Structure 1
């Protein structure tokens, strides 16, 4: 039934009936270890003095790349009208769309992996040790300029990696799929990055980027399909979110659980965040992946247990969606296998509904996001399907990108939304 609905591009949902009884044990028995999150957190703290210099936009957070948590109850009221449903308690939005430097969730994983690679190179060459003030790295741009970083991307990952790498002095190759927005390519070029565009989807861009890097000993390829470092960069978000809730006098526990809805492409970003959330809140958080009806690669891989061995083209889907960051045909093998007994479920959402949510959010909260960032909103209209039945639960939409979208592009999004509403 699920596969039939996916083939027909119907909005549908899947609940995981094989959840581990001991979440923390399951996480720590995977390819990623819990202690590695703390190591990643410490590394980002070491880089904070450098980031304050390179990116003054991080001064407000003392060099830490973090996003606001926004209570969106006006938006909740509009959703209740749209879907004729009742949403209990408060609705929050985690505004990764407003992260410093590159304005998307990719500023977590992408930037983290670039920083780790720079640290590794500098330490190996006796130019840095972990007790140093990392602001000294600014003096080593000439050294780092001997090296190249490459990545395959639909857009936002390329932006985060390209901007950070260029700022440190690296040469950069960004291999872009056919769905990548022109403004993202233009921004990368303005930062001095080399952009290679393919008339094919995300998978081809990654494959070609990986192949090119193999022939260059000075080139480091950031592999969105399999990278542990990307995953860890995303996972650091969880403990910071806990502190944000505590600042609002909200404690997540058995009586007040947290339900989180994460837009999903290849899976690295939402997978890393979900891993981190489960490590912090265990069974008191439920995490769901949201995917476009045209590109449901993660739910396809999880439901069939074939993971990266199956792609959306195998069931006749075109992988073409307005949610460019989610236009991925084959899920990450790393994420699917790490979370197959941890993720609570997945659901799909139409492009039309993403646009409707985009319009309602702009009208009600004056927050403007790109379509992919709204994918998780649909969960609120299918709470019964997803068994979100705790009346005291906090709902959290993870908004993955949008505040760097040029005005003319955003106006087109809003025009489309208005037509659908």
Structure 2
């Protein structure tokens, strides 16, 4: 791992003045100077065709998911979330925002209750399919509810799966892996909430706790899992499959917008605000949205002031080679799902060409937004999932810079988790937010 000198870091701060405010833990807004038109992007490691293939895998597993998780029966085994209009929130708290404001409710995603149900569950499903096909136990034309049988559970029990997590990714991996029959271990950082650890153990996953942050947990998990000849590590720092699982959301959102008669074109721009940890889920969704809507969609990542890993990676151009700790930032935040010190190797290089910008928020602002949303819309999120709600008020410099007409704009804040939060914890989050509104 590269160790940077104080002189090198000082030189970066000289080249990129915004780094001084980042190091001082001030909320910032950064416009991406490397943003490309979709038809001008350099060669990327995945394509629109890969997204469509990923959607077919989801469809193949729908009978299994419907059988194992009855909560997916209304959608015939498809894991998807609603798109809700935030009329009251916009009127009460964001009256200066032009256009219409929506919430993509990934906190309501069945099975895992967070955005990680997209990437995490997809990666485990593709691994399970690969093993079963190679063993001659299934082919892709079969009805996949056969995977619920004891024969398949016994087969998968020969294999182990590991993942490093701050919380939500571990939940998705642990729940689906245990359901299939895998031996699954979740290596969790100090930021992970106790209720998430308890839920994982109740679902049959093994939880290994670390006193360090996400980077320590994922490094230990990778080493332990890869030492097993039958082990498979879900690598949040470098996973094409996680990325693809997230990217399918764009195809689903396209249909939802069509159903609501919401156009996306030059006169009707789409703005999407995505909470960001390691960068895989917002990066995957951004890639998918760019494939679907081209230059008419503008995607923004949101990070805590204490964990701006993707922002630092992109602003310096060092990508995953640099961490927040290199700049003396502690990576400690109440937004546990976003508490990541080093960005994804795979996702960051792609996001460098596609993300419009990044803004950062203090923890108190996350709690304030949580209480505002609860009071205005009766929707309850965990703190990290509220980060996108501030987006429409934070991107004015970008709108001015790009001369975008906003009269017919659509804003979507992506809610990443919250429905599984225990009531007593949610009450505590809400009460804290109320003291700040």
TM-score by length of 1: 0.97
1:319 aligns to 2:335 (yes or no): no
Say how many residue pairs are matched.
415
Deviations 1:77-117 (A, max 9, x none): 2322xxxx601121000000000001000000000001001
In structure 2, what is the equivalent of residue 390 of structure 1? 405
Deviations 1:393-415 (A, max 9, x none): 10000000001000000010011
In structure 2, what is the equivalent of residue 93 of structure 1? 103
The answer for unaligned runs of 5 or more in structure 1 is none
2:193 to 169, 181, 191: 181
Q: Contact (CA 8 Å) 1:78, 1:360: kept in 2 or not?
A: no
Quote the Cα distance in structure 1 between the aligned partners of 2:288 and 2:47: 11
Post-superposition offset of 1:34: 2.2
The answer for unaligned runs of 5 or more in structure 2 is 1-16
Post-superposition offset of 1:173: 0.3
Deviations 1:295-339 (A, max 9, x none): 000010001000111110111111011100000000111111112
Post-superposition offset of 1:50: 0.7
Q: Contact (CA 8 Å) 2:391, 2:413: kept in 1 or not?
A: no
Quote the Cα distance in structure 1 between the aligned partners of 2:248 and 2:302: 21
1:220 aligns to 2:224 (yes or no): no
Post-superposition offset of 1:24: 4.6
In structure 2, what is the equivalent of residue 155 of structure 1? 167
Q: Contact (CA 8 Å) 1:32, 1:338: kept in 2 or not?
A: no
Q: Contact (CA 8 Å) 1:24, 1:279: kept in 2 or not?
A: no
Quote the Cα distance in structure 2 between the aligned partners of 1:377 and 1:71: 12
SS of match in other structure, 1:93: strand
Post-superposition offset of 1:25: 5.6
In structure 2, what is the equivalent of residue 42 of structure 1? 56
Deviations 1:120-174 (A, max 9, x none): 0000000000010111111211111111110000000000000000011111100
2:80 to 66, 84, 89: 66
Deviations 1:355-398 (A, max 9, x none): 10000000000000001001112222223123274321100000
TM-score by length of 2: 0.93
In structure 1, what is the equivalent of residue 26 of structure 2? 10
Post-superposition offset of 1:290: 0.3
1:125 aligns to 2:140 (yes or no): no
1:205 aligns to 2:217 (yes or no): yes
Quote the Cα distance in structure 2 between the aligned partners of 1:2 and 1:264: 19
Between 1:180-189 and 1:134-143, the stretch displaced more is 134-143
In structure 2, what is the equivalent of residue 270 of structure 1? 282
Q: Contact (CA 8 Å) 1:24, 1:278: kept in 2 or not?
A: no
